[in-house]
A and B are shown apart, each in its own frame.
Chain A
Amino acid sequence: MPNHALRDLRVVEYAEMVSGPMCGKMFADMGAEVIKVERPGRGDEARGHPPYPGDVPHPEKSGFFLYLNTSKKSLTLDPATLGGAEIFKRLIADADILIENMPPGHLANIGLGYEILHALNPRLIVTSITPFGQTGPYRDWKGTDLIEWAMSLTGFNTPTLVDDVAKENPLRAPGHAAEMMGATNAAAAAMMALFHRDLTGEGEWVDAPCWQATVNTSKLEMAAYSYVGIPFSRQRANVQVGLEPLPCRDGYIYTLWAADAHWRALKTLLGNPPELANEIFDTHAGRHQNDDIMRTLIREELAKHDMEHLVTEGQRLGLTIGPVHTVAQAAHNSHLRARGAFVEIDHPVAGRFEFPRSLVQMSGTPPHSTRAPLLGEHNVEILGRLGYTSEDLQGLRAAGAI
């Protein structure tokens, strides 16, 4: 039995898709009891999101849902119904944290606004994760991962080193990076609020927007503008140190040759070809000025070598160099395997599959994932604990509350 750091915490999660559920997962994997409130019937929208084993959709088999909801309990409940709101309030009464990612104002509209929840349980920490936050002119804007990502400089800067702006439109990162950033920020802020509560005795409201979370990941690019007056540009010609995956014989590598020492190491790695001995490349300024020629020559040389040789030998020479793996290569990588970066989880409906294990590793109280719940799997357990009889449950079911 893993030693769970947060086993004394009770968390209610009223959230769908990525941001709220990921935040809830972080608490659940650390041992908190996380009760996931799911829409009766359909459940979390993520249950309808691929991948599925064999690409056959099934609400209990979505790999997307199964990863984001490990270690939780599922309660089907519609807090917008009268009976549902009553159950929600009883859940809240002894919870430490509520995680929600509904549009701003939704909870207030169904009579469960922050003031009401706070009056019900003054020690409750309400963690709201939204695209744009609880205040400001974009408060009610619709956001998705693409929108939140594209509106940041990190998004504008993806991909880097653009040659033709007309053809290379800004790209979203693989996965749901902006939503994940909002989720981990919310989890960190909710933990802060717990320590705050230890000092003040009071719960509070955490406002964790995904857009601001993503904007905050280009601090250097923003400072270059506000301090130096350099407006951001994604065009290759305007970038001082150009980094990008470069092809070698059997794949791609990624390296940096900004410093003179790196440049010398790179030349050694490539066997000191005479083409690179040209003294115009010997200084940083010279390399920048002759970027086109130099890059072409480097590509020609790299094409003669294998990825593994370049990386192993390059690192030995002190070069900052790494392999560009595909997802499958990463999934089989011996180092990641040795670290235990993936964990096998068995599920009664979906089957047994591997998943990414945890965002960080800990020696004393490591995050530990158990399988995601079936839809409404814990209805009887949780409602029974709250004092509802099996007769009550029939009535609630008939009213669409659970």
Chain B
Amino acid sequence: MQRLPLEGIRVADFSWIINGPQIAQWLATMGAEVIKIESQVYIDIGRTNPAGMADRVAGVNRSGFYHALNYGKKAITLNMGNPKGRDLAHEIVRRSDFVLECFPGPTAEKLGLTYAEMKKLKSDIIMISVSLLGKTGLEPSRWVGWGPMACCFVGMFDAQGYPGGPPRQTGGTWPDYAIASSVVFHALAALRHRNRTGEGQWIDASMGETVIGQMHEWFTDYFMNGRDRRQWGNRDDVMAPHNTYRCKGDDHWIAIAVANQSEWEALRRVMGNPSWSDDAKFADQLSRWTSRDELDVHIAAWTRDQDHLELAARLQAAGVAAGPVLDSAELHNNPHLWEWGYWWKMDHHEVGERILPGMPVKLSGAPQLNYSYPPDLGEHNREVFGGLLGLSDAEIKLLIEEKVIY
């Protein structure tokens, strides 16, 4: 029988929205028992955001935003504003290996979700706190904010944009996802350490600091040369051509990156060896890099009337690094993503058959990760309060009436 890497590990998961749930999803799909502690008082807005509602019909169990980030977990409802609710949460923490939260500092303190408090409940607990800019330091450690604000703070949006233009925003909520696997790695290192020494610890993860690490060369350039790099377009420090070029249609594009002379020659062949490409200013990598803006004008003129998918395949067949910019439909139908095993189909009791993003890694020894369907609000109340905490049916009924389990 297949075993999953984290069987026997339990996570008391107080997190919501994106970054915490993405961390917990790594742990859950890899076999940990993740108990997601929610409440109707403060419902995970992933469950209620209208932009995610299956077929535009509202319902707390119908949101694609929630489903995509929360399959594999158990969900309970517990009102942390009620002292009894807090006591029950503490009982779950006492039985867990990890505590996970992603509230702004003041909210986490108000809820008692601090390492100092958690350590009192279980001395070897590993607590994971995720926030905008960390939970120690100066005033910004108490700010409210979400992923993109971390990008702003550390220079990513200033560096994002067209040369000479204003700062622009990177797509999606990049830091929320970027921080997840970093946290998972370090949390598992902490688990190894605990298993060997019996010591728990606090992981204080700042989205801003993760992004700083990701754009290390911008900081290193500043520290080494005092250069404050601004909007950089698609320029690479070495490669040219290196850009996205418009293709046939309204908003279709192809990315092309040429790293060396043989790739340049291959690109020229696919272009039909146009006469402009004989010019000495495109002869070698350095001259192409120096003349990159002019080079881009020529290439863009060539791609403009071509199909982005077909052209990318043709360039790749010739040995040129190229890729089509894909829209939602093209991504969902992409043969590579299906064959590799990224997408999976879920048959859900409320929303029917849907396509969900699976894990972006594969382990040969665990071909089927835990993709149990995303839990309904409070679905595992009886299992967790009755089974794990040993409460009787009568006690659970009373707690529901008192809006503690709520």
Contacts and interface: CB of A to CB of B under 8 A. Distances in A.
Interface of A: 3, 5-6, 8, 26, 30, 48-55, 63-64, 66-68, 132-138, 141-144, 146-161, 165-166, 168-177, 180-181, 184-189, 191-196, 199-200, 202, 204-209, 212-213, 215-232, 234-235, 240, 243-245, 247, 252, 254, 256, 312, 315, 318, 320-331, 333-336, 338-339, 341-342, 353-365, 367
Interface in B255-309: 255, 257, 259, 263
Interface residues of B, number: 156
Given A187-B181, A356-B213, A320 B145 contact: yes
A160 B169 contact: yes
Given A151-B325, A170-B253, A199-B5, A328 B239 contact: no
B54 interface: yes
Contact of A219 (B62, B68, B169): B68
B365 A193 contact: yes
Contacts of A323: 152-153
A231 B161 contact: no
B160 A216 contact: no
B162 A177 contact: no
Given A171-B234, A217-B172, A353-B220, A361 B203 contact: yes
B114 interface: no
B121 interface: no
15 contacts: A6-B189, A6-B192, A64-B216, A137-B339, A152-B326, A171-B162, A193-B5, A204-B364, A206-B361, A206-B363, A217-B178, A219-B177, A335-B133, A341-B208, A363-B204
A156 B51 contact: no
Contacts of A353: 220, 223-224
Residue of B26, B191, B321, B354 ringed by the most chain A CB atoms within 10 A: B321
A312 B336 CA distance: 47
A247 B166 contact: yes
B155 A212 contact: no
B228 A245 contact: no
A218 to B, nearest CB: 5
Contact of A223 (B30, B64, B219): B64
B213 A327 contact: no
A165 B250 contact: yes
- Summarize B's interface: helix, strand, loop or mixed: mixed
B188 A192 contact: yes
Contacts of B335: 136-137
A165 B252 CA distance: 9
B224 A63 contact: yes
A138 B208 CA distance: 33
A165 B253 CA distance: 10
Given A336-B208, A356-B219, A228 B54 contact: yes
Contacts of A193: 5, 363, 365
Contacts of B167: 245, 252, 324
Given A146-B255, A215-B360, A254-B152, 20 more contacts: A50-B237, A135-B341, A141-B316, A154-B172, A174-B229, A174-B232, A177-B174, A177-B178, A212-B342, A254-B148, A318-B144, A322-B132, A322-B149, A325-B153, A333-B153, A341-B212, A357-B209, A360-B182, A364-B201, A364-B202
Contact of A180 (B132, B143, B214, B361): B214
Interface string B223-245: 11101111011101111001111
B72 interface: no
B327 A160 contact: no
A188 B331 contact: no
Q: Which 8 A-B pairs have the closest CB atoms?
A: A157-B171, A223-B64, A364-B201, A227-B64, A63-B220, A159-B168, A175-B215, A150-B255
B383 interface: no
Interface string B362-377: 1111100000000000
B190 interface: yes
B101 to A, nearest CB: 14
Q: Which of B64, B179, B339 has the most CB of A within 10 A?
A: B64
Given A218-B171, A336-B208, A362-B201, A196 B5 contact: yes
B177 A226 contact: no
